[in-house]
Amino acid sequence: MISRLEKEIIFRFLKTRKQDNFLNIITIFSFIGISLGVAVLIIVMSVMNGFRTELINKIVGFNSHLVLSPYEETIDVEKIKKKEIYNLIDNYFYTNKGEAVILQKNYTKGIMLRGYEKNSFKKLSFVNNDTFSGSKRLNSSTISIGKELSYILNVDIGDKVTLMSPAGVETLVGNLPKQETFIINSIFDSGLIEFDQNVAFLNINDLESFFNLNSDTRDIEFYLINPENIENAKNIFQISFNDVYIYTWADLNKSLFSALKIERNVMFIILSLIIIVAAFNIISGLTILVKNKTRDIAILRSIGVSSKSIKKIFFMVGFLIGLSSTVFGIFLGILFSINIEKIRIFLSELFNITIFPEEIYFLSKMPTELNPNSILIISICSILITSLVSIYPAIKASNIDPIKSLKYE
């Protein structure tokens, strides 16, 4: 506990005199440095959280949550009716896939073909986006391609494209790659350039005929009621389907999200250095304060104030500077994070430059997501750092000999 006398002395020491200009400057710089460090950390973390969430939404919007893929035998669909499985599922579709080459005039490109049943395709989330154009049904001899691929091939809805399959067809001159022509009946825009350039969709019967596959090789794609609980769902599926290969959207993008996590942690460490450097100014400020208040400390000691109280007083001075600057930094960080898009637009117009171009990031606005846990961790780290650097000056103040100090004053 802090006594009333200690409180009065703490607030008196916080109010530095006009002649202590250098000390005032150090205190101000400490306050500004810590506040900016905390604010920048919150802004950067919120933007990176926003990027991660947007990326997950786009990936999950284009891919199913969980896939069952057969090894040799067909998947036992009766197991899906089990209560523990059925209660997890929102929807599921049969699908098949294969790699092919798309031909258009003098241009060729390798793509991944995915096949769905005629009426299943329209139930996929990205098909129901505002950016989707054309038919939502995969009719026979039709194909759905990505927006980026349509630009590359210079084609539109109603145009024809030729696909070449690695599955051979016997002719008089030998085994030749199979070629078939399909009509583009829709163009999708997932927002992810890799998908839009390299994936196309066919009717599942056309795809299996094109690659000489049979229905026994079909995968089953599942959309879960709670996709965030994907690992738990995968474990439940593995108990029932122990004879098939099971993978999730998280498994397919593990390296990407690992890289994002590492980048986020590295950014946190680098930006934390701002707070650490600013916090060391507190040591300088408190050390100068101790020197300037040597006589006051000696008088306090001579009237009975213990060295423990002196230590507590100077520690609390540093702690309050750190606490106030952290709180102000949190306020700034949250304020800027909430209005980051308005700030981006303002700076873009002010300097006539494009900040966060849509054609590169494939997002119409800068995403932010304030995470209370991140803010709490940043706050605790900031207060902890400023508290630690306040210990040395506080100990130094408590060790002042009152007799020597008053003798040479």
Which residues, including other chains, have CB under 8 Å from residue 375's CB and lie 6 or more apart?
Answer: 42, 330, 333, 334
Which residues, including other chains, have CB under 8 Å from residue 402's CB and lie 6 or more apart?
Answer: 297, 298, 299, 301, 302
* 149-153, 204-208, 345-349: least confidently modelled range: 345-349
Q: Angle, nearest 10°, between helix axes 340-351 and 307-338?
A: 70
pTM of the model: 0.68
Residue % of the chain over a pLDDT of 90: 10
**The one-letter amino acid at 292:** N
pLDDT band for 54, please (50, 70, 90 cuts): confident
Residue 403 has pLDDT above 70, yes or no: no
The more confidently predicted of residues 125 and 96 is 96
Instruction: Give pLDDT, residue 172.
Output: 59
For the chain, the average pLDDT equals 80
Cα–Cα separations (whole angstroms), residue 28 to 137, 231, 313: 65, 49, 20
CA distance 296 to 290: 9
For 317-330, the pLDDT digits (tens) are 888 888 888 899 99
CA distance 193 to 361: 9
CA distance 108 to 288: 73
Most confident range, picked from 159-163, 164-168, 212-216, 353-357:
159-163
DSSP 196-211: HHHEEEEEHHHHHHHT
Residue 363 has pLDDT above 70, yes or no: no
CA distance 95 to 103: 24
Instruction: Give pLDDT, residue 184.
Output: 92
Most confident range, picked from 190-199, 277-286, 291-300:
190-199
Q: Encoding tokens for residue 281?
A: 């100014």
The more confidently predicted of residues 291 and 332 is 332
pLDDT band for 228, please (50, 70, 90 cuts): confident
Q: In a 3-state reduction of DSSP, which class is residue 124?
A: coil
* 17-26, 173-182, 220-229: least confidently modelled range: 17-26
Instruction: Give pLDDT, residue 21.
Output: 59
Average pLDDT rounded to a whole number, residues 206-229: 85
Cα–Cα separations (whole angstroms), residue 334 to 34, 117, 190, 265: 15, 47, 30, 20
Residue 409 has pLDDT above 60, yes or no: no
Fill in the DSSP letter of residue 167.
E
For 7-50, the pLDDT digits (tens) are 676 666 666 555 555 556 777 777 888 888 888 888 888 888 88
Angle formed at CA 135 by CA 131 and CA 137, multiple of 5 degrees: 120
Instruction: Give pLDDT, residue 185.
Output: 92
